[in-house]
Every structure is written in structure tokens, then in C-alpha cells.
Amino acid sequence: MKNLIQKLVESIGPSGYESAVREIVRDEVAPFAEEIRIDALGNLIVRKGSKTKSGMRLMLAAHLDEIGLIATHIDENGFIRFSTLGGVRPNNCPGGRVRFMNGVEGVIGIERLENPDRPFSIEQLYIDVGAASRQDCPIKVGEVAAFYRPMLDLGGRIAAKSMDDRIGVAVLVESLRQLKKTPHEIYFVFSVQEEVGLRGATTAAFALDPDLGLAVDVTLTGDTPKGVKMEVALGKGPAIKVRDGKMLSDPRLVQYLIETAEKAKGPYQLEILEGGTTDASVIQITRAGIPSGCISIPCRYVHSPSEMVDYNDVQNAVKLLVTVLSNPIHLG
């Protein structure tokens, strides 16, 4: 899967501008899909299988978009001020490299701080694309960019920008590729604009009205020095979400995922995330309500230019998902 992952994470697709990433995914899934369509908001919706007596209509969601930047002002010297698309943290920005949708690259700089010990804001940052004046600047107000870094393959671990959630996208693509037979009517939804409000999954879930929803996304880890206090760690398997900042997973689905992982003799962890959420939270409250949950890929340094995952966790997430999709689902 590493070639697919690299292709996905090194592409540019901030929220609302996912078209290039969507085309990569469309080409990858085409040989295995029974139906492919793009809805009005830009979600790529891929169908596999037909619903049998023992099956369900399932919606699986992984988002195409990544956090990004949008130019708001170009000053007289050609420096670009910007706002954010999604959860860009100011402390992850200085010295970072970005690429605009038109291919122009630049470096994020920071104003001289009066008190370096105090937190700084996005308003104190700017992008330097090498321009000498406003007229010389190749970027206009309203153009968008994302962090730009090549993927780093560390053997068992891989790091790149936009693992959130291109790694989830890769898991869905690989699961579709490996899925040979299913009793379900499955909709693989590669959603848009998740980072700015879960928008794509909201409209897709309303249109599809599934019997059950499952997101595949990243989650934080508690395995770095003086890091966040949580049980999830790299290398211990995919995490089955119990709760996050906006959702309580359906406990029947949580138990079913645990039992499935144990029967398949695959590693798993239980995830309780204090803040943040995934597409599953809006699928859950669509129409009259949909039993929903999430399979999470443990990820260090989320919303930074170098997010890190464990390759075995990714493969085991595919194994768990394919097992779930290949068999009838009984929630009790």
C-alpha cells in the first residue's frame, strides 16, 4: 500500500479543493467498483455489492480534504497574509513549506515577537514565495495552499502531511480492492470538507440513508514524551472508537467490532478521544438516526506537516474492515 499512500499524501487538496485527490482515488477504485458517482458537493461515492436478506446498506466514510491556508492579503513587499482552512495550529507553521493549487511554493515566516515566551497567532505569520513586491507576487487573494513535504518512509512507520485523512482513504481503497464477496450494499464515501465542518459526510449520509455508518479516520496517541493522556499508541493495532468530542459510538457496534477483531486474531485498541470528531458523528444523527462508529488509525503529530502512523496498524485496519464487510453484521 505504500505507493498508494505516497501518491495520496503528496497530493494537494485543502477543504473545498479536493478535485486532484478525488481523481487519484477515482482511478484507483474504478476496476473494483460497481457504480461511481460524484455528488453536488464533490463527494466521491463508490458502490460495491447488493443487499441480501442478511445484509445491510452500509456507508463507509474517509475524507479527502486536508487542513490548508487561504491568502487574505498581499503587502507591498509581496508577503502573503493568510487565514486557515480547518485546524491549522500557529506553532506548527513557522519554517513550514507550502504549495498553492497553482503550483507556487513558499515558506511560512513569523514576525519578530516582542515576547517570545508568549503564544503567537496566525495573524503574526506570513508566506514568502520569493516575491519582491505586490505586483511581483504570483498569488492572489483567495488562492489556497497546503503544507508540502515528501513522505518519509521509516520502515515500520511512515510520516507525511495529510495522513489525516489520506491514510483513511487508503484503507478504504485497499479494503475495496481486497473485498471479494459481501452480503451488503456498501457505499464507500470519499468525503469533502470534513476539516471545516463535516460537510460532505452530512449531505452524503442524508442522500444514502444507510442502515449503519462507519468512518475511518486518524486519532491521537498517548505514546510520546509528556504527550496527551490516552491509551492509544502506535503499533498496537487500529483503534475502535468508543467516544470522541462529539459522538458516543453505538455500543452494539463497538462490541461487534471488538468481537470481529478477536475472531480474526487481529490487534486492536479502544479509543476515547476527549476533543475532535469524525464524519461518523454527523452520519449518526442523519434523518431518524443511524447506528455509527469509527475505526481509527493511531497518528502522532496530527494537524502538523509531519503526521506519523504505523504501517502495521494500517494493514490491520484493512484486515478488520474487510472481515466486517465480508460477513453479516449482527448488532444484537
User: How buried is 37 (Cβ within 10 angstroms: 0-12 exposed, 13-18 middle, 19+ buried)?
Assistant: exposed
Residue 34 designated active-site: no
> Cβ distance 210 to 55 under 8 Å?
no
**Nearest CA among 120, 54, 107, 71 for reference residue 331:** 54
User: How many Cα atoms sit within 13 Å of 49 on the Cβ side?
Assistant: 25
Among the options 194, 195, 271, 307, which is catalytic?
A: 194
> Cβ distance 262 to 270 under 8 Å?
no
Distances (CA, A) of 282 to 63, 200, 214: 13, 10, 11
Q: Enumerate the H helices of the chain as residue ranges.
A: 2-9, 19-29, 163-178, 199-208, 251-263, 280-284, 311-326
Before 128, cis peptide (omega within 30)?
no
| Residues taking part in catalysis | 194
